[in-house]
């Protein structure tokens, strides 16, 4: 008996792209459990003309992912709780409009509005100079723009998959090549999956170095939460071992680094670099706990895969993007030259792979929140975080 | 009874885009007056593949506007007189091909061929360095490219509207967001309207600052006229109070700043900065008068909305773009850093709006031209312009 | 009687683009000779979404050309021999994704995977500073990116043509404007033709300066061969008069400049600049001879049209692009400023034209290879090449 149903929706090598598609539990008579659906469609109007979306509705949770934008997760919702944020960028911007080099290397921000956005793959972090090898074999200094190219690279292959026996897992798999001649040639394979009725979805990624030479890898998950979960008094829950402010601006807020303020016009971002504790298998958990302490959004991941953790507090006015980023990564989002100097840039051997799995969920109810807190405490081993009062040169440039 | 018929053709927030559409007086039996039509269609071939156009034909005048290119006016014609010019750029270039930063910040010119093109909204004018605040709150110097981004930004909302009672006004309304995270977030709402049989159309714009913080605004209308109206002996008619040459090159032509020469191979542009007089309500008028003094193209606007006026004389060979730009603006097209230093950059408060209305028309016949001249003279209050022999440091950098 | 059948598939000035089209010998009952077909279709998926291809199959040879990418030749094959190479760039990248200025001016490499790719037209070669005249008439220094814009410019006109009498020549003609306001305005007209059953195809190009002023032209044909023809022991056959290494890296390999090595991980490119001899009409021939000496790919061209010849040896690992470029050009692929200083930049007068014709073929069999070698020797006049041991300042910058 078949164990999976699979439908390939995009395959550039076969010159295939199915623009509109729908699949649902109604397509599988006899399948038990909550009604679910998977839809693919193209957006229209403005800068989103031609951008393709896949929406998975597992009956309880809805996840929208964007093959055209590197398999990023545009937004999600669980029951009545939206996950994501309200960026000033209202459209789902087609990558052909994004010029990373503009605005002093900040052009990436013209398309930034995802709930979960990958930064990488050859580099991520702040714009600035780094040394690269050119076609001639010579080393030269180039200006790396913010956060790399993967978020603005369309998938070349996309398939949906339905497990034909319990738990009837639904998944969408995309391949995104991030390659150029004389440059890096990474391939991201991302699998987004969920089980009908479950309060979570899983992003399971693998990056492969397609080159015959070693290649650098930086991969960071910019997971962004805004209202209503973010609000005055919302808190970060995480088994933090060490935390330091990125710069003098963040230093101002170090006294309440894990607590969020209300929207504040003119607020300049405060960024904290952290190391998290984990269980013996490396599994850890971070969460944004709403101010009412009744709801929390969680991210489970493994520190062997993603050792660095960054918190971006940007509690600006709602109109300007009231948001926090919880950012597990292979590195901190500094310029690659700095991260390399601190030994945090992965060097993938030829054919080498790096995997990362993140589970995005939601916890609801007083008892469940209490359990979550207990779990975080357990992961921390009862220890309190070491809080650095000022930027630490091992983590923070200049 | 309904007073308007309205049809929404694009709405990115509703994931709607009607690519092909036609509406005409034949759709409204009993409507009196000249036959008219409004058509929307997409262009094909080369760099214009997927660019959308709206053509309004009011029975006497035809106007083609480009939602894909920031609601610019591609060209217009009244009876047998074309308005616009013949740029070396023959296609209506899709914004995804325009890399503003290329060619030393002059990449904008790769798509420049409109009759009326907006420059802005966060900045316009010559490329060069300016100071901006980045995501970290720090100030940094970036290279602003020529003329900003609005002309290469597609509309996210587009509607056509027909008044159901006299004068049966026809209008097209577009919304163009010019926004990025950590940057400006302006929204242009542009309404292009005309009345069946009228020898004019009106561009009625409003720019709103969507941010919770103040935002700078520069808005200039690059209104470009070529042959046949422009020709040797054609003249600028305007109630000029003050005029100065932008640079040494313009200084060479200051003796005949308001008169145009024949196409001249190798002619380098001459640019003049002006202040115009107006009536007590601020209304003023500029015109390009053909050499035969029998036809003129007019632009009516308000100096409270658009205090600066620039004339771009580019009487190069026909093949290289024989053209003059009459450019009412909030500022002169210098780099924003200079305009700011002279107090000519608007600072919109949060939610603040700036409106500008321009009426583009045509005057035909000896008597009508005489009336036009008289009107300009009246607006000038009988005074002659103060002509600066050389660049004035209040208007001209370096 | 009609001598040609012609079908226009794209004409931007007529707002025409036929996306899918097929024509074949079966459409012409009674036509003798091998069965052939011409197909036009659009690619789907990833960065190739919307890229258009034309495939000519003459019954023996297949040629795929890309109107969307400046009429480049994606690949070809003759019987079972593929011509072209395996770039790390697997997709046929839409120009809207290519940002030439990125990666220190090497952004062009993000789309580079063609068999035959034009570099130009206003400039080609290595990125770096050059002086240009801006809109103000002033001279300024800009950074020219690698290899110009023509390979990322779509055709505005495309037609297929079939000769209705022997030899029933099949051809595809495309027009590609490479123009911007205040910049160069070149128009490439490229005709790709072949005869049913013939083991070759012809690229017949003409570039016209549409400006009323003189304009610089640089045009280089980057003709790229990989496996299986390229392999350890493969050789360049050419009537070389003079050859010099581009730089110290190439100097290392000058002892075997015309022989290729096996794929070598980490190999940095070695580039040789050459002058070729020709017959009294200027016709010459270069070839890549397979290591088995039984097959060779040939390029016939005229040194009056293309006086410079460059060989790019990039025998890196297969995964990183194992390839050699045989590159007839008007110039060597140095920055334009250097080529100008050496008198190798063409200045086209207003309306001036430069033509180049290249015939791409294949030779198979011991006897045919022997004839090819004899022809090359005849063209060389029996003379050996003058081999410069080190970079020659007339050819090699710095």
Tell me: the pLDDT tens digits for B197-250? 999 999 999 999 999 999 999 999 999 999 999 999 999 999 999 999 999 999
Burial class (CB in 10 A: 0-12, 13-18, 19+), C253: middle
CB atoms within 10 A of CB A6: 11
Residue A54 tokens, joined: 């896949």
CB atoms within 10 A of CB A166: 11
pLDDT for A175 equals: 98
pLDDT at C134 exceeding the cut of 90: no
- Give the single-character DSSP code of A67: G
Tell me how close the Cα of C19 comes to any Cα of chain A, in angstroms: 14
pTM, 2 dp: 0.97
Give the pLDDT band of residue B160 (cuts 50, 70, 90).
Answer: very high
- Mapped onto helix, strand or coil, the DSSP state of residue A374 is helix
Query: Cβ distance A204 to A348 under 8 Å?
Result: no
| Chain segment C141-185, per-residue pLDDT in tens | 999 999 999 999 999 999 999 999 999 999 999 999 999 999 999
Strands B346-348 and A240-245: unpaired
pLDDT for C126 equals: 96
pLDDT at C222 exceeding the cut of 60: yes
Interface A-B, measured as beta-carbon pairs within 8 A, has a size of 117
| Chain segment C44-63, per-residue pLDDT in tens | 999 999 999 999 999 999 99
| Chain segment A126-154, per-residue pLDDT in tens | 999 999 888 888 899 999 999 999 999 99
Q: Tell me the chain C residues in contact with residue B320 when contact means C-beta distances shorter than 8 Å.
A: 185, 211-213
Alpha-helix runs per DSSP H in chain C: 102-105, 248-251, 318-321, 336-341, 366-379
Query: Cβ distance C358 to C300 under 8 Å?
Result: yes
Tell me how close the Cα of B179 comes to any Cα of chain A, in angstroms: 6
Q: Which residues of B touch A (CB under 8 A)?
A: 10-17, 50, 95-96, 99-101, 132, 134-137, 140-143, 145, 153-157, 177, 179-183, 185, 210-213, 350
CB atoms within 10 A of CB B249: 15
The torsion angles phi and psi of C269, rounded to 5 degrees, stand at -55, 145
CB–CB contact C45 A16 (8 Å): yes
State the Cα–Cα distance between residues C37 and B241, nearest whole angstrom. Answer: 69
Tell me how close the Cα of A111 comes to any Cα of chain B, in angstroms: 7
Query: Cβ distance B310 to B327 under 8 Å?
Result: yes
C-alpha dihedral sign at A78, A80, A83, A88:
positive
State the Cα–Cα distance between residues A330 and A307, nearest whole angstrom. Answer: 6
State the Cα–Cα distance between residues C152 and C80, nearest whole angstrom. Answer: 30
Q: Tell me the chain C residues in contact with residue B335 when contact means C-beta distances shorter than 8 Å.
A: none
pLDDT for B1 equals: 57
pLDDT for B30 equals: 86
| Chain segment C75-128, per-residue pLDDT in tens | 999 988 999 999 999 999 999 999 999 999 999 999 999 999 999 999 999 999
pLDDT for C283 equals: 98
Q: Hunting for tokens 């660049």 — which residue is that?
A: B391
CB–CB contact C185 B88 (8 Å): yes
Report the residue from C89, C99, C104 with minimal CB separation from A181: C89
pLDDT at A1 exceeding the cut of 60: no
Percentage with pLDDT > 70 across chain B: 99
C touches which chains (3+ CB pairs under 8 A)?
A: A, B
Contacts of C197 (CB under 8 A, 6+ apart): C33, C34, C58, C59, C60
| Span B26-44, average pLDDT | 95
Q: Tell me the chain A residues in contact with residue B350 when contact means C-beta distances shorter than 8 Å.
A: 265, 319
Look at residues A325, A287, A286, A328 and name the one whose alpha carbon lies nearest to residue A307: A328
Tell me how close the Cα of C154 comes to any Cα of chain A, in angstroms: 15
Contacts of A160 (CB under 8 A, 6+ apart): A6, A7, A9, A21, A23, A38, A40, A54, A170, A171, A172, A173
Average pLDDT score over chain B:
96
Tell me how close the Cα of C185 comes to any Cα of chain A, in angstroms: 24
Q: Which residues of C touch B (CB under 8 A)?
A: 10-17, 50, 95-96, 99-101, 132, 134-137, 140-143, 145, 153-157, 177, 179-183, 185, 210-213, 350
State the Cα–Cα distance between residues C18 and C8, nearest whole angstrom. Answer: 8
Average pLDDT score over chain C:
96
Report the residue from C49, C104, C321 with minimal CB separation from A181: C321
pLDDT for C135 equals: 83
CB–CB contact A104 B182 (8 Å): no
Percentage with pLDDT > 90 across chain A: 95
Strand partners, A94: none
pLDDT at C1 exceeding the cut of 80: no
Report the residue from C88, C102, C268 with minimal CB separation from A136: C268
User: ipTM of the predicted structure?
Assistant: 0.95
Q: Tell me the chain A residues in contact with residue C46 when contact means C-beta distances shorter than 8 Å.
A: 10, 12, 154-156, 177
pLDDT at B136 exceeding the cut of 90: no
Q: Which residue of A has its CA nearest to C103?
A: A142
Report the residue from A45, A249, A319 with minimal CB separation from B137: A249
| Spatial strand order in the sheet of B283-289 | B16-17, B4-11, B157-163, B170-179, B185-194, B200-209, B353-364, B295-302, B283-289, B235-237
C-alpha dihedral sign at C86, C91, C92, C93:
negative
Query: Cβ distance C52 to C20 under 8 Å?
Result: no
pLDDT for B2 equals: 67
How many helices, marked H, and strands, marked E, lie in chain A?
5, 26
Give the pLDDT band of residue B295 (cuts 50, 70, 90).
Answer: very high
Biggest CA pair distance of chain A: 63
pLDDT at A219 exceeding the cut of 70: yes
pLDDT at A103 exceeding the cut of 70: yes
| Span B263-281, average pLDDT | 97
Q: Tell me the chain A residues in contact with residue C112 when contact means C-beta distances shorter than 8 Å.
A: 180-181
pLDDT at A254 exceeding the cut of 90: yes
State the Cα–Cα distance between residues B266 and B269, nearest whole angstrom. Answer: 9
């Amino acid at each position: 008996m078949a164990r999976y149903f699979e439908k390939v929706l995009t395959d550039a090598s076969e010159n295939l792209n199915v623009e509109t598609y729908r699949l649902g539990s109604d397509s599988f008579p006899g399948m038990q459990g909550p009604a679910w659906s998977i839809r693919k469609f193209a957006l229209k109007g403005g800068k989103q003309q031609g951008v393709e979306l896949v929406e998975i509705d597992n009956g309880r949770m809805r996840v929208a992912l964007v093959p055209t934008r590197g398999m990023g997760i545009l937004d999600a919702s669980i029951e009545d709780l939206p996950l994501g944020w309200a960026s000033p960028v209202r459209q789902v911007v087609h990558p052909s409009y994004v010029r990373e080099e503009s605005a002093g290397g900040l052009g990436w921000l013209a398309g930034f509005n995802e709930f979960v956005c990958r930064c990488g793959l050859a580099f991520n972090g702040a714009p600035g100079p780094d040394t690269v090898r050119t076609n001639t074999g010579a080393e030269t200094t180039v200006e790396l723009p913010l956060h790399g190219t993967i978020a603005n690279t369309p998938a070349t292959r996309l398939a949906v998959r339905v497990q034909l026996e319990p738990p009837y897992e639904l998944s969408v798999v995309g391949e995104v090549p991030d390659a150029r001649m004389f440059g890096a040639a990474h391939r991201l394979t991302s699998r987004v999956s969920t089980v009908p009725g479950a309060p979570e979805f899983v992003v399971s990624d693998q990056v492969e170095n397609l080159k015959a030479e070693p290649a650098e890898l930086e991969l960071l998950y910019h997971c962004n939460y805004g209202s209503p979960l973010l609000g005055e008094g919302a808190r970060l829950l995480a088994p933090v071992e060490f935390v330091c402010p990125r710069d003098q601006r963040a230093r101002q807020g170090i006294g309440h680094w894990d607590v969020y303020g209300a929207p504040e016009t003119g607020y300049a971002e405060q960024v904290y670099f952290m190391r998290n504790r984990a269980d013996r298998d490396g599994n850890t958990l971070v969460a944004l706990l709403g101010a009412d302490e009744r709801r929390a959004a969680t991210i489970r991941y493994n520190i062997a895969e993603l050792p660095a953790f960054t918190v971006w507090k940007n509690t600006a006015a709602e109109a300007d993007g009231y948001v926090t980023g919880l950012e597990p990564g292979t590195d901190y989002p500094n310029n690659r030259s700095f991260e390399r100097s601190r030994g945090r840039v992965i060097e993938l051997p030829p054919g080498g792979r790096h995997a990362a799995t993140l589970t995005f969920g939601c916890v609801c109810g007083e008892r469940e929140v209490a359990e979550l807190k207990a779990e975080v405490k357990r992961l921390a081993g009862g220890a309190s975080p070491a809080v650095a009062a000022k930027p630490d040169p091992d983590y923070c440039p200049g």
